[in-house]
Structure 1
């Protein structure tokens, strides 16, 4: 009787991080996930009728679409977009120091919501889009504190003009509901869960 040959083990997808964010790279590295970085310029505008989580998920999926045509069958691209919402106003990356100061003046003394949308697009056509929400409270800040932060940390690449891991996060954030890492730019608990489902990670 011929010996049966076991089916070959499924190939683990190779993760491609489509982000220039040092914070997302740091979080994936600390998560113990192997990845390579691949960058492309993608328009980050969104339809005006979208609100809150819809915006973050739309932008993440839109970024992933730029990689769809040339992903290898065993590749899996991860794209993400983080937005800050004050009520229904989306505060994106500030254009300069003056706008950064204005944004932080609006945020100080109030709660706001941070949404990170994530898209995982596999070369075999599988696609997952999700988002995570964190509510953040800033204490009341003086103009001098805000100007000090903007001048020294230049948060022009950050939604809402701040990074929770920066000085301002230490002195201003009084209360946080949800994932701190989501505010940094990647809800790693959800990312790990979805990567496991896609067979990209395991313990």
Structure 2
């Protein structure tokens, strides 16, 4: 079966989520500078990064397939928490999230004949975490390349008291919004 689109991401989670809804895809990861601009809002940041990823991928490929890209960030107190650099950075992030609510912004960019974008914002509440739990979690390797230093679909699920919004969005690809964009491009999930 031929792919229906190109996923501009090396994220295994995004690929798994597309497979979950039956979307055949090929992968072409792109690398861009993901540094937030001074004064950039979280919504503008994730939308810009997703759009830059899809534009770069589309420019680098010689196909007429649509290109899908996404970007997800954890936001606490208005601050964008990226991926942790090391154990100390993960301790700072997870300690900041401990016992509190935070937001997860996930933007989707789809380029074909047009450019479509969507944004999902979810609210996640962590239970209080001990220093020992955070260190033990880091040692599992799971949080190393995750926004906010956690993976909702993994071991960190035991930290989460509640979620309001999109579980798949917190994972990195909000499927409701993605399906809406795919439909605009003529790719229907359920026929």
Report the TM-score, using the length of structure 1 for normalisation.
0.88
RMSD: 1.6
Asked if 1:121 is matched to 2:111, the reply is yes
Unaligned runs of 5+ in 1: 1-11
1:77-156 → structure 2 map (5 Å cutoff): 77-122=67-112, 124=113, 126-156=114-144
Please tell me whether Structure 1 or Structure 2 has the larger radius of gyration of its CA atoms: 1
Paired residues for 1:12-27 under 5 Å: 14-27=4-17
Q: 2:150 aligns with which of 162, 171, 179?
A: 162
Residue 62 of structure 1: how far off its partner (Å): 1.3
Paired residue secondary structure (2:151): coil
Report the CA distance shift for 1:13/1:168 in structure 2 as closer, same or farther (over 3 A). Answer: closer
Runs of 4+ in 1 over 4 A off after TM superposition: 70-73
Which has the larger displacement, 42-51 or 22-31? 42-51
Counterparts in 2 of 1:13 and 1:164: CA distance versus 1, 3 Å: closer
Alpha-carbon distance change, 68 to 13 in structure 1, aligned in 2, over 3 angstroms: same
* Matched pairs, number: 189
Question: What do the CA deviations read for 1:102-132 (whole angstroms, capped 9, x no partner)?
Answer: 100000000000011111011x3x0011210
Q: Alpha-carbon deviation of 1:201?
A: 2.6
Q: Which moved more, 1:104-113 or 1:61-70?
A: 61-70
Equivalent of 1:38, from 25, 28, 40? Answer: 28
Unaligned runs of 5+ in 2: none
TM-score by length of 2: 0.93
